[in-house]
Amino acid sequence: MEIAFSSRLKHAWNGFMNKDPTSTNYQVEYHGTGYSYRPDRRTFTRGNEKSIVTSVYNKIALDVAAIDFRHTKLDGNGRYISDMDSKLNQCLTLEANTDQSSRAFIQDVVISMLDEGEVAIVPVETMQDLTATGSYDILSLRTAKILDWYPQHVKVEVYNEWTGKRVHKVFPKNMVAIIENPLYAVVNERNSTVQRLIRKLNMLDAIDEQSSSGKLDLIIQLPYTLKGEARKKQAEERIKKIEMQLSGSKYGIAYVDATEHITQLNRPVENNLMKQIEYLTSLAYSQLGVTQSILDGTADEKTMLNYYNRITEPIASAIADAFKRTFLTLTARTKGQSISIFRDPFKLVPVSEISEIADKFTRNEIMTSNEIRQVIGMKPSNDPKADELRNKNLSAPNEPSESEEVISIKEKKEENQNEEL
């Protein structure tokens, strides 16, 4: 349903100004502040950007973004009928905002949620004024970082596409979709496995930087006490001489007196740090349902199925539930509107086996034809038999079997031939 442009100008609402975005306040004669990078692109919290955890977050986000999110119409049994012709559905299937496609937006949602523990989805532009009505169609969505929590509101940091800057705004909780990480206890708790792994990785990075900085970290034991100022000055002179020897030597060699003793403070990284990192990495993988084969693309079907059921499905469901309870009114939900997710269950199955699997499911009376169509995101068939849970190769009690039908047809042909004779 296309809405007239004049109607949009009359009723549209923008989350940054709480008014019509076509207001003269937005009419600027220049293009805004320019950047050499995308200012709307989020950055990881301190420490996460340098760790291998980022690759795991990115893999999960890519796989969740591969799932289809749609604003749908359901029948009385909660089954998919059709997609809604709404602006919200366009945000979910085509373009979420000026800078992001729908898939890039979902990927941003998941990465932000995994990194921060929760994320807010802000309807930055709608067809109606949110403060005046509870029913509205959403034109644009953006992810936002939650800064402060209030009883009925949240303060968020969200990118303002009109100014090109991140701004702080306070929104009522019932206006923004707040999505909490279903894996919060494993990923975001202070002493969770992933957070412990991140801290160990940061420690390893610090040791690497220190060891490559050129510092020797030596303690020189001189053959005299350093109680007086003269002795301390003499010690400093001795250190300078050793530094000059090392810097002036082609191979970094220096000599000391026989009465001087040198202690090396640089300890090798064999203080169980690497073993701890390997242990925590293995533990994090097992808790997240991720394996190295999943990350490098060599996982088999069972491994991927376990990963989808334990990780991507719960996250996708959390996103869909938050959208449904926030962006769909009670009236819309009672009329069958919903936010549905569709993941192709046959994605990992060879095409030659898909029809065989569908045939086995219907023949063994596990699923009806319409239920099979529902799983793969197709509309239900109008044929009444498509809703029947029965083996189509067997006749119903009051229906003749295929063999009986063939015999009856042959008998009728023979009767007709005899009558002609």
Give the pLDDT of residue 130: 62
State how far the Cα of 327 lies from the Cα of 201, in Å rounded to an integer.
40
Kindly indicate the confidence band of residue 96, based on its pLDDT and cuts at 50, 70 and 90.
very high
Q: Supply φ then ψ for residue 21, to 5 degrees.
A: -65, -10
In this structure, what DSSP letter does residue 312 have? Answer: I
Residue type, 9: L
What pLDDT score was predicted for residue 351? Answer: 64
What is the pLDDT at residue 26?
46
Q: What single DSSP character describes residue 137?
A: -
- H helix or E strand, kind and range, residue 148: strand 138-149
How far is 61 from 183, CA to CA, in rounded Å?
13
CA 37 vs CA 34, 41, 157, 339, 411: distances in Å: 9, 8, 18, 33, 81
**pLDDT 10s digits, 1-24:** 444 444 444 456 676 666 555 544
Q: What is the arithmetic mean of pLDDT over 193-205?
A: 86
Phi-psi region of 387 (alpha: psi -120 to 50; beta: other; left: phi over 0): alpha
User: Could you report the per-residue pLDDT of 25-69, keeping only the tens digit for each?
Assistant: 544 455 666 666 777 776 766 555 556 788 899 999 999 999 999
Residue 280 has pLDDT above 70, yes or no: yes
The string of pLDDT tens digits covering residues 214-254 is 566 677 777 777 788 888 888 888 888 888 887 777 767 77
Q: Mean pLDDT throughout 273-282?
A: 88
Task: Write phi, then psi, for 283 (nearest 5 degrees).
Answer: -65, -40
Q: In what order do the strands lie in the sheet with 80-83?
A: 80-83, 68-74, 337-342
Cα maximum dimension of the chain: 140
Mean pLDDT (whole number) for 375-389: 83
Write down the pLDDT at residue 154: 96
pLDDT higher than 80, residue 212: no
Q: What are the structure tokens assigned to 36, written together? A: 């050499």
Residues 100-136: tens digit of each pLDDT = 999 999 999 999 999 999 999 999 888 876 666 656 7
Helix or strand run (H / E) with residue 83: strand 80-83
Task: Give percent of the chain with pLDDT exceeding 90.
Answer: 35
Q: What is the pLDDT of residue 28?
A: 45
Percent of the chain with pLDDT over 70: 75
Q: What is the pLDDT of residues 129-184, one digit of tens each?
A: 666 665 678 999 999 999 999 999 999 999 998 888 899 999 999 999 999 999 99
Of residues 410 and 361, the one with the higher pLDDT is 361
Report the pLDDT averaged over residues 304-329. 94
Quote the pLDDT of residue 201: 85
The pLDDT of residue 334 is above 70: yes
pLDDT of residue 1: 45
Q: Are 154 and 173 in contact (CB under 8 A)?
A: yes
Q: What is the mean pLDDT of the chain?
A: 81
- Kindly give, in sequence order, each residue whose CB lies less than 8 Å from that of residue 315, ignoring residues fewer than 6 positions away: 60, 64, 110, 113, 181, 182, 183
